[in-house]
A and B are shown apart, each in its own frame.
Chain A
Amino acid sequence: MRKKLEGNGLWESSRMMLPEHKVAINEHEKALRQRQRVELDEQEWEQVSRSVTESLQQRQPVTLRLFHPAEELIVSGIVDRVDQMKGRFMVDGEWFAIGDIEGADMEE
């Protein structure tokens, strides 16, 4: 009961919404939050490939930001393998697409 007086309670307790309308609103919101791919320029690419190579050759942990349509995806660890043919790399036994990389930081 008290909730009516707090936050958005007055409006949440009094509104009339069709479940189908709610679904449409939530899907629309999700679509609005969809992330766009970031295009890297040459310099950024160079920095990314330097970090990945360094991690691969010197077993240094690296933090990579990857594209994901709905959330911020960060992969951190040591790059175990790079498969140029298939455009992918492996961290901790899991393959990721090289094309998805949006940024890299070496861990100090």
Chain B
Amino acid sequence: MSLNRVIMLADCQSFYASVEKAEHPEYHDRPLVVAGDPERRSGIILAACPIAKSFGVTTAERLGDSLAKCPDLVIIRPRMQLYIDISMRITNIYQSYTDLVEPYSIDEQFLDVTGSLHLYGTPEELAHHIQTHIQSELGIYTRFGIAENKILAKTACDNFAKKNESGIFVLTKDRLHETLWTLPVAKMFMVGSRMTRHFNAMGMETIGKVAETPLEKLKQLMRRKFGKNSDINAELYWRIANGLDDSPVTPGTHSVAPKAIGHMMTLPRDYGKLEEIKVVLLELTELVCQRCRGKGYMGHVVSVGCMGADYDHPTGFNRQMKMDDPTNVTNQVYRAAVELLLRHWDGYPVRKVGVSLSQFSSDDEYQLSLFDPHRDKTMALERATDAIKQKYGDAIILRAVSITPAGQALHRSEKIGGHYK
């Protein structure tokens, strides 16, 4: 492995639950879960500690089901900001071993330790060292997949390091035939239940079968199922199965300018009246525009999506339109969003609404519009409200419609990623 890179994917075990256990030592030996909405039995489990899992509690099931399996369960309300802070402290610890750290999610980060190994010995020794460091400083157990590239490191972590005693697994290329390739195709990265069925129907039941299929053959097979545009996905799956990945660990990856900025919200109940939907549409538009203004972007294309509650009988739409000029003024974007809603909404109740802006240009300079002589004034107002919200929180100043029963802005300002801060 000396000539190759040494990449690690470090993952935190039951992250939210582990953070809460470290914060509440009194629950150390009790089964503990973090649940979306502890007051409601229909709230879902966001994370379960290993003890809770030993009772059969699983992530994403309903709280009521978990309580049936384990009545003694300690239920904790999520604290998303704390989890972000702890995740950043973990990043800091990784960064004391290598400057090449790329957070991949709140509980998974890639590390390129090629240049640090001469100080610490073998990759396993270094991983063990970091693992002990994090355990003693934060009380969180981390697992390490180690390989020569990111996809194999991720695979090593998900399929092997999470299951063995040490929490550390090195996956080398020459041993793929007795490790990765023996696994069922469902265990492959990026393959869900739908794709598993398709691969099985193509006669590929293990990851090894996908890997040994010549790329051209796989493209052909997939074209038959998914049409002409499936070549790229075919190559993607083929590379994943073969453990081919030359992407670098990229620390600056999150500062890349986004292509679109959007917000989506699942509503607490079905919204059936146009007036109600318009309220959340305005609230979402406000959030999107606020973020664009913060970044100095104006968007030219607005898209709106609405979805019904019944996932088995999907209703709703997702449409976009180009506005006359790029803008980040809430009322202008809202006008376009309402136009889309009126044109495409089928009248069925809506459970999920999303708004996004794309095709950005900088807001340093803009087209003077004959139809909007008040632009400077509007912009000054937006800047003032943004500054107030920045300082005192999003809930400090609201549109009047947000305090009607349909409004969600107050509720949403207490949350991160749809869960309590």
The proximity string for B residues 97-124 relative to A, scoring 1 for CB distances below 8 Å and 0 otherwise, is 0000011111000100000000000000
Main secondary structure of the interface of B (DSSP, over half): helix
Q: Is B81 an interface residue (CB 8 A)?
A: yes
Q: Is B405 an interface residue (CB 8 A)?
A: no
- Contact (A2, B84) CB under 8 Å given A15-B105, A26-B254: no
How many positions in chain A have a CB within 8 Å of any CB in the partner chain? 25
Residues of A contacting B80 in the complex (Cβ-Cβ under 8 angstroms):
18, 20
Least CB distance from A37 to B in Å reads 22
Q: Is B88 an interface residue (CB 8 A)?
A: yes
Residues of B contacting A15 in the complex (Cβ-Cβ under 8 angstroms):
104-105
Complex CA–CA separation, A2 to B92 (angstroms): 33
Instruction: Of the listed stretches B24-32, B157-165, B244-252, B312-320, name the one at the interface; the rest are far from the partner chain.
Output: B244-252
Residues of A contacting B236 in the complex (Cβ-Cβ under 8 angstroms):
4-5, 10
- Contact (A7, B84) CB under 8 Å given A18-B416, A20-B417, A29-B255: no
Q: Is A9 an interface residue (CB 8 A)?
A: yes
Chain B residue nearest to A21 (CB atoms) is B84
- Contact (A5, B84) CB under 8 Å given A17-B103, A18-B417: no
Least CB distance from A63 to B in Å reads 29
- Contact (A1, B105) CB under 8 Å given A8-B253, A18-B417, A29-B255: no
Residues of B contacting A28 in the complex (Cβ-Cβ under 8 angstroms):
88, 91-92
Residues of A contacting B81 in the complex (Cβ-Cβ under 8 angstroms):
20
Q: Is A92 an interface residue (CB 8 A)?
A: no
How many contacts between A and B, using CB within 8 angstroms?
70
Complex CA–CA separation, A21 to B107 (angstroms): 11
Q: Is A36 an interface residue (CB 8 A)?
A: no
Least CB distance from A13 to B in Å reads 10
Do A16 and B105 touch across chains, with their CB atoms under 8 A apart?
Answer: yes
How many positions in chain B have a CB within 8 Å of any CB in the partner chain? 36
Q: Is B150 an interface residue (CB 8 A)?
A: yes
Complex CA–CA separation, A21 to B417 (angstroms): 10
Within 8 A of A (CB), among B68-88: 80-81, 84-85, 87-88
Complex CA–CA separation, A9 to B253 (angstroms): 10
The proximity string for B residues 201-235 relative to A, scoring 1 for CB distances below 8 Å and 0 otherwise, is 00000000000000000000000000001001001
Q: Is B400 an interface residue (CB 8 A)?
A: no
Q: Is A97 an interface residue (CB 8 A)?
A: no
Least CB distance from B66 to A in Å reads 23
A-B contact pairs, 21 of them (CB 8 A): A1-B229, A4-B232, A4-B236, A8-B247, A10-B151, A10-B245, A10-B247, A11-B102, A11-B247, A11-B250, A12-B256, A14-B190, A17-B105, A17-B106, A19-B291, A20-B84, A24-B84, A25-B254, A28-B91, A29-B252, A32-B95
List the interface of chain B (C-beta within 8 A of A): 80-81, 84-85, 87-88, 91-92, 95, 102-106, 110, 150-151, 190, 229, 232, 235-236, 239, 245, 247-248, 250-256, 291, 416-417
List the interface of chain A (C-beta within 8 A of B): 1-2, 4-5, 7-12, 14-22, 24-26, 28-29, 32
Lowest 10 CB-CB distances: which A-B pairs, in order? Answer: A18-B417, A8-B247, A8-B250, A22-B254, A25-B254, A1-B232, A21-B84, A26-B255, A20-B416, A15-B104
Apart from the given pairs A20-B81, A20-B416, 17 other A-B contacts in the complex at a CB distance below 8 Å = A1-B232, A2-B232, A5-B236, A8-B253, A9-B247, A10-B236, A10-B245, A10-B247, A11-B247, A15-B104, A18-B84, A18-B416, A24-B84, A25-B91, A26-B254, A26-B255, A28-B88
